[in-house]
């Protein structure tokens, strides 16, 4: 994790045209700077250093161009804004709040109550009813789940559904609630096979496990085999949809906003679905989507009109929209507009700088660039090649500008933390570059120690921890030990799925070994065995993160813990099928259309 220590405050360079003009004039006046004449080929590029006439061999990742030109993004528009829709939203919220109140009043059937809470959370509208849901879950927990004496009144489905929802919402509930699902020989009882919904909820509950919770580990294996073998026999369309989706990826690992869009469509097919709840979910989705569209347009103007990196650093990935999807996946709620906008910018910067270290820069250039990043001084860039001057100055101005915006919007001065996080990131990139140029094969531990920084999660979560608008700087500092653990697990949950999805492409172009190759070299395992090991590590890290989040008590830490988990979920989303960030961007395009561009019809 990036160390949160104090720094001397650097001079802030504004984005005003006058300051930019003076800086660029100063740089252009240096006549002794060697120019580069680019002659591109694939998979490598040959550049000639005009001063020495010696060839510079550069790699190329052959990334496809962006699917999202500036005009396409700026043309996005939504009709779901204004007082008419606000008034209708409030009316629907009042009706749903009344439903929750009635459930809390009767509390005779916990299944009805828990199903309503589950629906609101899956539909993505739970954030309108935080206190109401908390009250109803308190009631259900105290009456049915707090005391072991009450457990024998609950069937498998109620135990599993209640366990999942209560753990997800921060309640202390032990795996011992499932002790009676096994017989004296240690086998799962045969009658469980008659309850498909209960088995599905037990499967989903098992992914909320902590380390060494053997009952849940065994339940995960048992229910997986059962559901795989019985899915073809499920006659109920809705239950069949839920089961197929769960086997593809458990709910706990799924991205909330993607899941909400899918669940709205599935919920509509459910027998006995509540039309008021569905109407609220659809309207809220479209209204929040309008907020997301403005976020993306704002980021696009910055990317194309301010940094101009899509043109000036054309050898890097132009992935502004895909980067926005990462920010949206991290925090979709409308109140986190500033956080999404800042994360999108940071992610776009990281993507380009990553390509400089991974693909384009020579090792000598990368050493110099890392030194300049560490010094954070624009007057130290004269010895860099032109493309690195553009990169550093754009980075310098963008980060300082984000720090200024954060200061004026929240009162928090985060520039020293961002500087240190960028320094740590680039130093990690440099280590990986050294491995590549020296052909060094790291151990799996060495690789993970460096890559949990180079995956950039510490930098992203440094931003997150100051931009949730629910804390002060003092609370962030006081929470640092908890934050460090959350960042550590979040980084691994992004790194490991990333390796599963991208290592084949990256090794084909001659990149530094990934976790799969490190494990193969260290143990003699086959690639299939190494991939299975990485998948087992993902489960173990999720268990560690689950346990860490269970101990969080403040609103700030709970929000931060959810953001940390969402980076892991976003990695599963982006790399589950293929590399949706680099080469297979057509896969991501479908989700951009679904989540950001196209509203739900008939609202």
Q: List, for residues 283-316, the tens digit of each pLDDT value.
A: 999 999 999 999 999 999 999 999 999 999 988 9
What distance in Å separates the CA atoms of residue 596 and residue 603, rounded to the nearest whole number?
A: 16
The pLDDT of residue 412: 84
Q: Is 68 helix (H, G, I), strand (E, B) or coil?
A: coil
Return the exposure string of 150-168: e unless at least 16 CB atoms fall within 10 Å of the residue's CB, then b. Answer: ebeebebbbbbbbbbbbbb
Orientation of helix 256-268 relative to helix 110-122, angle to 10°: 120
Q: Where are the domains of the chain?
A: 30-60, 83-282, 308-597
How many residues are there in the chain? Answer: 603
Q: List, for residues 121-157, the tens digit of each pLDDT value.
A: 999 999 999 999 999 999 999 999 999 998 988 999 9
Question: Which ranges constitute the DSSP H helices of 208-255?
Answer: 214-230, 237-248
The pLDDT of residue 170: 93
Q: What's the distance, Cα to Cα, between the start and end of the chain in Å?
A: 44
Consecutive 10-residue averages of pLDDT for the chain (603 residues): 35 33 32 30 42 61 82 96 97 97 81 96 98 96 93 92 96 94 77 87 98 95 94 93 96 96 95 96 98 98 94 91 95 95 96 93 96 94 94 96 90 91 97 94 96 96 83 74 92 95 62 90 96 97 97 90 96 75 71 95 90
The pLDDT of residue 39: 29
Question: Which ranges constitute the DSSP H helices of 39-109?
Answer: 70-74, 83-106
The pLDDT of residue 107: 62
Burial of 380 (0-12, 13-18, 19+ CB in 10 A): middle
Task: Give the bridge partners for 44, in sequence order.
Answer: 59
Q: Which residues contact 38 (CB under 8 A, 6 or more apart)?
A: 45, 47
Burial of 436 (0-12, 13-18, 19+ CB in 10 A): middle
What distance in Å separates the CA atoms of residue 576 and residue 564, rounded to the nearest whole number?
A: 18
Task: Give the bridge partners for 48, in sequence order.
Answer: 37, 55
Q: Let me know: does 82 contact 283? Beta carbons within 8 Å.
A: no
Name which CATH class applies to 308-597. Answer: mainly alpha
**For residues 458, 462, 465 and 469, what is the CA-based torsion angle, rounded to 10 degrees?**
-150
What distance in Å separates the CA atoms of residue 255 and residue 486, rounded to the nearest whole number?
A: 18
What's the chain's average pLDDT?
Answer: 87
The pLDDT of residue 33: 32
The pLDDT of residue 54: 53
| CATH of span 83-282 | 1.50.10.130
The pLDDT of residue 61: 60
Pairing of strands 54-59, 36-40: unpaired
Beta-carbon neighbour count of residue 294 at 10 Å? Answer: 15
Q: What are 585's two structure tokens?
A: 């961007």
Provide the greatest CA pair distance for the chain: 84
Q: Let me know: does 377 contact 395? Beta carbons within 8 Å.
A: no
Q: Let me know: does 122 contact 263? Beta carbons within 8 Å.
A: yes
């Amino acid at each position: 994790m990036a160390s949160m220590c104090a720094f001397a405050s650097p001079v802030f360079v504004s984005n005003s045209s006058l300051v930019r003009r003076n800086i660029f004039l100063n740089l252009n006046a240096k006549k002794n700077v060697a120019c580069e004449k680019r002659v591109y080929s694939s998979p490598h590029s040959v550049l000639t250093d005009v001063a020495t006439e010696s060839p510079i061999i550069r790699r190329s990742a052959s990334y496809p161009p962006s699917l999202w030109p500036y005009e396409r993004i700026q043309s996005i528009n939504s009709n779901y804004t204004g007082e008419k829709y606000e008034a209708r939203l409030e009316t629907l919220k009042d009706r749903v709040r009344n439903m929750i109140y009635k459930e809390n009043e009767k509390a005779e059937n916990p299944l009805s109550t828990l199903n309503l809470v589950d629906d609101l959370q899956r539909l993505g509208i739970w954030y309108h009813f935080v206190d109401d849901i908390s009250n109803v879950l308190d009631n259900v927990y105290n009456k049915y789940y707090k005391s072991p004496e009450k457990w024998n009144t609950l069937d498998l489905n109620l135990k599993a559904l209640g366990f999942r929802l209560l753990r997800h919402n921060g309640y202390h509930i032990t795996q011992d609630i499932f002790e009676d699902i096994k017989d004296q020989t240690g086998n799962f009882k045969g009658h469980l096979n008659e309850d498909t919904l209960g088995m599905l909820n037990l499967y989903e509950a098992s992914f909320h496990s902590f380390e060494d919770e053997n009952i849940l580990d065994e339940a995960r294996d048992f229910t997986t085999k059962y559901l795989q073998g019985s899915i073809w026999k499920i006659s109920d369309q809705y239950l069949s949809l839920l089961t197929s989706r769960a086997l593809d990826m458990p709910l706990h690992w799924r991205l909330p906003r993607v899941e909400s869009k899918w669940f709205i469509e599935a919920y509509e097919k459910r027998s006995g679905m509540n039309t008021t709840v569905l109407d609220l979910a659809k309207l809220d989705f479209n209204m929040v989507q309008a907020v997301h569209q403005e976020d993306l347009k704002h980021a696009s103007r910055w990317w194309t009109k301010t940094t101009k990196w899509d043109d000036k650093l054309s050898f890097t990935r132009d992935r502004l929209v895909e980067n926005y999807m990462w920010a949206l996946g991290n925090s979709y709620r409308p109140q986190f507009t500033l956080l999404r906008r800042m994360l999108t910018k940071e992610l776009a910067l990281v993507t380009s700088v990553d390509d400089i270290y991974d693909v384009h820069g020579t090792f000598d250039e990368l050493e110099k660039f890392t030194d300049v990043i560490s010094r954070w001084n624009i007057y130290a860039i004269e010895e860099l090649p032109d493309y690195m001057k553009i990169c550093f100055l754009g980075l310098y101005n963008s980060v300082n500008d984000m720090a200024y915006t954060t200061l004026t919007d929240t009162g928090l001065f985060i520039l020293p933390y961002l500087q240190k996080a960028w320094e740590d990131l680039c130093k990690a990139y440099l280590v990986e570059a050294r491995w590549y140029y020296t052909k060094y094969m790291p151990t799996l531990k060495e690789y993970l120690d460096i890559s949990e920084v180079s995956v950039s999660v510490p930098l992203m979560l440094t931003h997150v921890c100051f931009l949730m608008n629910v804390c002060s700087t003092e609370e962030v500092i006081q929470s640092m030990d908890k934050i460090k653990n959350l960042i550590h697990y979040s980084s691994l949950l992004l790194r490991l799925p990333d390796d599963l999805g991208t290592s084949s492409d990256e090794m084909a172009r001659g990149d530094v070994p990934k976790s799969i190759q490190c494990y193969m070299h260290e143990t003699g395992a086959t690639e299939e065995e190494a991939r299975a090991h990485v998948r087992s590590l993902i489960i173990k890290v999720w268990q560690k993160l689950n346990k860490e989040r269970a101990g969080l008590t403040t609103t700030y830490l709970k929000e931060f813990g959810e953001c940390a988990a969402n980076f892991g979920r976003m990695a599963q989303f982006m790399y589950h099928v293929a590399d949706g960030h680099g080469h297979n961007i057509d896969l991501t395009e479908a989700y951009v259309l679904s989540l950001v561009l196209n509203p739900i019809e008939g609202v």
